[in-house]
Amino acid sequence: MAKSADYNLGPNTFPRGWFIVAESTELDAGPLAVRFFGQDLAVFRGASGKAVLLDAYCGHMGTHLTDSKSSMIVKNNEQIEGDSIRCPYHGWRYNAEGHVDDIPYSDGPCPKSASIKSYPVVDNMGCVMAWYDPDGREPDYEPPKLPEWDDPRWVRWELDHLGELNIHPQEIIDNIVDVQHLGPTHGAPSEYFENEIKDHVCIQRQGGPMQLYQTYLNTSTWYTGPGILLSKQEFSGMVIFELIANTPVEDGLVKCWHGCLVKGSEDVATEADIVIAKQSQAGALEAFSADFNIWQNKRPALKIMQLKTDGPFRTGRKWYSQFYAAPADVSGIQNTVNGIHLTEGLKTADQAGYNIDEGLSF
C-alpha cells in the first residue's frame, strides 16, 4: 500500500480540504462513530439541526463519545442536549466547539485542558462535509454547491456507500486528466478534451460517443479540492450531475461515495422521473465500478510513463500536491499550474463546438 510520502506530495500525510464524512440521513439515528485522517471521530446532529464533528475521545478518561450503546445516558436518550453531547461514561458534556461546558457532579469550572478538537462542518447536498487541515487553518475555500439541489424539477441522489478502497487517493485523482482510459475502460472515447485549473479547482471538459448507448456524451467535470468531484453530463436529452467523493481513512486507504442528481421532465419531478433517476444512478455506478475494480487490483503508479497523448498527468499531480503542501507553498503551486491544459491530438471544447459550463460555478 503506497503512502503519501511515496508520491512526494509534500510534508503532510493527509490533504487539506472539504470531505464527506457521512450522509446527512445517517445522523437521524443518533451519534455516529467514524474514522478518517488516521483518527477516530464523533459526528452527531444537535437539537438545532446543526451537524457537529469532534475528535472521538473524552478528555476526562478517554471514553469514545459515540461508540456506546449500553450506557444509561444513551439508553435514556440523554446524550444530546442542545448542540452538545455527553460522554456516556461520566456525563461530561462537550459543546459544538469541543469545550466541556458541564460536569454533572461538579460545580467548579470546567477544565479547559479537557477540550477536544472540533471541525468546521456543513450540511450540503445531502452530505455532511467537514473541513480538515493538518496545519489547523480555517477553510480557505467553500465546498461545492449545486443550485439544482433545491430545484423541484431535479431528483436528488441517495448516496451509494462504496466502502473502503485500499489505494492512495492520488490514483483516483489521476482520472481527472486521464483522457485515454475513457475509451478502453468505459467505451466512451473522447473527441475533444481539455483541463483547466483555477487554484483549488481542477476542471475537465470532454465529449465523445457512448458506444453502449449509441449516443453522444458531453461532460464538464470538476474537483473542488481533493475530495469532492462533480460532473455535469448531457446525453440523449438527459442532464445529470454525478458525485464521486473520496475521504482518506488511513494513509493509503480511502472511503468512497457516489450519487446522481437527475433533471426530471416536469416543473416538479414525477414518480416516473424518480424511477428514471434511480436507473440513471445505477447505470452511472456501473460505469464508475469499472474504475473502482481497476483501482482495487493495480499496483501504485508512483511514476507514470507519460505520453503526450495521455493527458497532463504531471500537471494534475502538481495541482493535487497543493493540498499536502506547507501553507507558504500553496500559492506558488497554484501559480505554476493555473490555466488551460491541452492534450496532443484532441480538439478543445470550443473547437468542437460544445460547452456545457453555463450556469456552473467553479
- For residues 256 and 30, the answer to whether their CB atoms sit within 8 Å is no
Over residues 67-73, the mean pLDDT reads: 93
Q: What is the pLDDT confidence band of residue 331, given thresholds at 50, 70 and 90? A: very high
Using CA atoms, how far apart are residues 184 and 205, in angstroms rounded to an integer?
Answer: 19
The position carrying cell 478517554 is: 62
Using CA atoms, how far apart are residues 239 and 217, in angstroms rounded to an integer?
Answer: 10
Q: Is residue 1 pLDDT above 90, yes or no?
A: no
Q: Is residue 4 pLDDT above 90, yes or no?
A: yes
Q: Output the pLDDT for position 154.
A: 99
The CATH number fitting domain 17-132, selected from 3.20.20.80, 3.40.50.300, 1.10.3720.10, 2.102.10.10: 2.102.10.10
Buried residues in 270-293 as b, exposed as e (16+ CB within 10 A):
eeebeebbeebbeebbeebeebbe
Question: For the domain 147-352, what is the CATH superfamily, name and number?
Answer: Naphthalene 1,2-dioxygenase Alpha Subunit; Chain A, domain 1 (3.90.380.10)
What cell was used for 320? 493535487
Q: Output the pLDDT for position 192.
A: 97
H-helix or E-strand containing 204?
strand 201-210
Q: Measured at the alpha carbon of residue 357, what is the angle toward residues 307 and 212, in degrees to the nearest 5?
A: 60
Q: Is residue 320 pLDDT above 90, yes or no?
A: yes
Q: Output the pLDDT for position 33.
A: 98
Domain boundaries, the chain: 17-132, 147-352
What percent of the chain is modeled with pLDDT above 90? 94
Q: Is residue 242 pLDDT above 90, yes or no?
A: yes
Using CA atoms, how far apart are residues 49 and 221, in angstroms rounded to an integer?
Answer: 31
What percent of the chain is modeled with pLDDT above 70? 100
Q: Is residue 84 pLDDT above 90, yes or no?
A: yes
Upper half-sphere CA count for residue 290 (Cβ side, 13 Å) = 14
Q: Output the pLDDT for position 153.
A: 98
Q: Output the pLDDT for position 361.
A: 86
Q: What is the pLDDT confidence band of residue 92, given thresholds at 50, 70 and 90? A: very high
Task: Residue 131: name the closest of 11, 256, 14 by CA.
Answer: 14
Using CA atoms, how far apart are residues 79 and 66, in angstroms rounded to an integer?
Answer: 9
- Residue by residue, DSSP assigns 140-166 as SSPPP--GGGG-TTEEPP--EEEEEES
Q: What is the pLDDT confidence band of residue 91, given thresholds at 50, 70 and 90? A: very high
- For residues 84 and 46, the answer to whether their CB atoms sit within 8 Å is yes
Q: Output the pLDDT for position 353.
A: 84
How many Cβ atoms are within 10 Å of 54's Cβ, its own excluded? 25
Q: Is residue 213 pLDDT above 90, yes or no?
A: no
- For residues 53 and 129, the answer to whether their CB atoms sit within 8 Å is no
pLDDT digits (tens, 9 = 90+) for 250-299: 999 999 999 999 999 999 999 999 999 999 999 999 999 999 999 999 99
